[in-house]
Amino acid sequence: MDELDSEIIRLLQTDARQSNRELARRLGVAPSTCLERVRALTRRGVIRGYHAEINPAALNRGVQAMVSVQVRPLSRTIIDAFKDSASAMPEVLSVFVLSGGDDFLLHVAVQDLDHLHAFLLDRLSKRQEIAGFRTSVIFQQVHNAAPTRLPDVSGHPQPPARKPSTART
């Protein structure tokens, strides 16, 4: 990773939909150089994909919650099976495997509190491997402008994304 790679990542985190030509213009490099750098970052697994951010409320899933789950007995088989099962549930947005007192953290989105209650009772509490769970309803969520912003190659945090100037001269 060099400074050009770091700047490519920063710009793509700001707007992953920009064309290669626009990205190259903003970087001050040839489009062919930019395209090869992006492809190399993808091959190395630095860039894993491009995603659309969806508003769950717009899809009638306005209630979100974090559900901490403990499973027993603790074994790789139980953990892998629950992870696969939970990630396939349509209510579950993300599955985190944890260390500490909880084994999993599920980020869920449902239509309303009645649907959250039904999910907890009908989908989770009936599973034999679940020893317990706690639910925290999310009232507000604030997104980091670039949630995966990492330190640059020097180890220093990257500066916040620059916004285009709207001033006229």
d(CA 47, CA 17): 14
Q: Give per-residue pLDDT as tens, 65-110.
A: 999 999 999 999 999 999 999 999 999 999 999 999 999 999 999 9
pLDDT computed for residue 54 by the predictor: 86
Choose which CATH entry (3.90.180.10, 1.20.1730.10, 1.10.10.10, 1.10.10.60) describes domain 3-43: 1.10.10.10
> Above 60 in pLDDT, residue 162?
no
In the chain, at which residue ranges do the beta strands (DSSP E only) sit?
63-71, 92-97, 104-110, 130-138
Q: Which amino acid, one-letter code, is at 26? A: R
> Above 70 in pLDDT, residue 154?
no
Cis peptide before 73 (omega within 30 of 0): yes
Residue pair 35/12 in contact by the 8 Å Cβ criterion: no
Residue with tokens 């790679």: 5
Instruction: Find the Cα–Cα–Cα–Cα dihedral 123, 124, 127, 131, rounded to 10°.
Output: -170
φ, ψ (nearest 5 deg) of residue 95: -125, 125
Q: Give per-residue pLDDT as tens, 4-23.
A: 999 999 999 888 999 999 99
- Confidence (pTM): 0.74
The CATH number assigned to the domain with range 56-138 reads 3.30.70.920
d(CA 47, CA 117): 37
Residue with tokens 């509190």: 113
Domain range annotation of the chain: 3-43, 56-138
Instruction: Residue 103: count other Cβ atoms within 10 Å of its Cβ.
Output: 23
d(CA 68, CA 66): 7
